[in-house]
Amino acid sequence: MTMIFVALLATAAVLVGAGFLHLLPRLGKIGRACGGAFCRAPALDLAVTYFLIVPPVCAVIFAGWPGLLGSVVGQIIGLQIWVFLHEFANRSARRGPRIVKTLNRIVGRWRNHLALWVTAIVVPIFWVIRVAQIFIYPALSWLVALPRYRHAEWVNVSRQKFDGLIGHDLIWCLYCDWMTGVWSLGSEMLRNVESFWCPIRFYDDKKCENCRIDFPDVAGTPGAPGWVPADSTMAEVSELLEQQYAPKGDNGWFGHPARLTVNGEPISTDSPKK
């Protein structure tokens, strides 16, 4: 009975939260402003935490592991009810071309839907990454002057504005929207960390080639040097660090836009503030 009760509470929490977000744009100028705020960090972080993290955490605290199972079931039920209601309210779009219909034809209905739910398993991981971006990375900015960032420019959602994106397609696209921003900001922060502490190329050439996509400093970018080759000396590593970092200023990765002018010459280590 406890599990069922928790599931009902979680279902209600999802639907009440969704209803609140749908209501905001209808509350005039202030409501629209609040709705817009929930589409980007930091308010978006609160919304994600409310829908995805608070229910299972509270369930575990007050009802143990059976409560966790009930919470997850309730969240899924709440999501499916919202999908049904949203698609019912947008029946013309539901009958037209849709992502879910196309992918169901390409890979099969059960494979497509099961794969989507498999991706949902990593939600807590992305949330933990987001927590680290908010509470841990700023310590690095303060201690060793790594660049600070306006998180709202990275962590935001906007696909709800795309015409015809409803229900099932909309919720999963919003998930990807959020996830991509979190991952991109994390990669940007790691570029600073890697180039600051370990500007040495890997001995594995294939790894260097693969990693240069997310860490351009591995090989260098126009107007900026790369990490030292794997067969270099510590003296060369030290010399590179001396060239790239000043005692004062923001110590961004070597190809950080704030370091370059349009012709690739170094100009400044200033960066946008959070």
Instruction: Give pLDDT tens digits for 189-243.
Output: 999 999 999 999 999 999 999 999 999 999 998 888 999 999 999 999 999 999 9
Short-list 10, 21, 169, 164, CA closest to 83: 169
Confidence of residue 260 (pLDDT cuts 50, 70, 90): low
**pLDDT at position 267, please?**
46
Q: Is the model's pLDDT at 265 over the cut of 70?
A: no
> From CA 159, how far away is CA 156, in angstroms rounded?
10
**pLDDT at position 264, please?**
44
**pLDDT at position 250, please?**
76
pLDDT in tens, 233-251: 999 999 999 999 977 777 9
Mean pLDDT of 6-31: 97
**pLDDT at position 25, please?**
94
Q: How many CB atoms lie within 10 A of CB 191?
A: 22
Contact in structure between 260 and 267 (CB atoms under 8 Å): yes
Give the position of tokens 């990693």: 211
Q: Is the model's pLDDT at 272 over the cut of 90?
A: no
Q: Is the model's pLDDT at 271 over the cut of 80?
A: no
Cα–Cα distances (Å) from 6 to 16, 17, 77, 182, in that order, read 15, 16, 12, 30
Residues above pLDDT 70, as percent of the chain: 95
Short-list 213, 187, 177, 176, CA closest to 133: 187
**pLDDT at position 223, please?**
81
Give the position of tokens 């977000």: 21
Short-list 197, 239, 233, 234, CA closest to 215: 197
Least confident segment among 7-21, 137-151, 208-222, 249-263 = 249-263
Q: Is the model's pLDDT at 274 over the cut of 70?
A: no
Contact in structure between 240 and 232 (CB atoms under 8 Å): no
**pLDDT at position 266, please?**
46
**pLDDT at position 257, please?**
86
> From CA 115, how far away is CA 107, in angstroms rounded?
10
Contact in structure between 252 and 147 (CB atoms under 8 Å): yes
Cα atoms found within 13 Å of the Cα of residue 272, Cβ hemisphere only:
9
Q: Is the model's pLDDT at 273 over the cut of 60?
A: no
Tokens of 177: 């929207």
Residue 269 backbone dihedrals phi, psi, to 5 degrees: -110, 15
Q: Is the model's pLDDT at 270 over the cut of 70?
A: no
Q: Is the model's pLDDT at 13 over the cut of 70?
A: yes
> From CA 138, how far away is CA 140, in angstroms rounded?
5
Cα–Cα distances (Å) from 186 to 19, 37, 105, 149, 216, in that order, read 31, 21, 35, 11, 15
Query: SS3 of 198, please?
Result: coil
> From CA 165, how far away is CA 210, in angstroms rounded?
34
Query: SS3 of 220, please?
Result: coil
> From CA 211, how far away is CA 205, in angstroms rounded?
10
Tell me the average pLDDT of the chain: 92
**How buried is 140 (Cβ within 10 angstroms: 0-12 exposed, 13-18 middle, 19+ buried)?**
middle
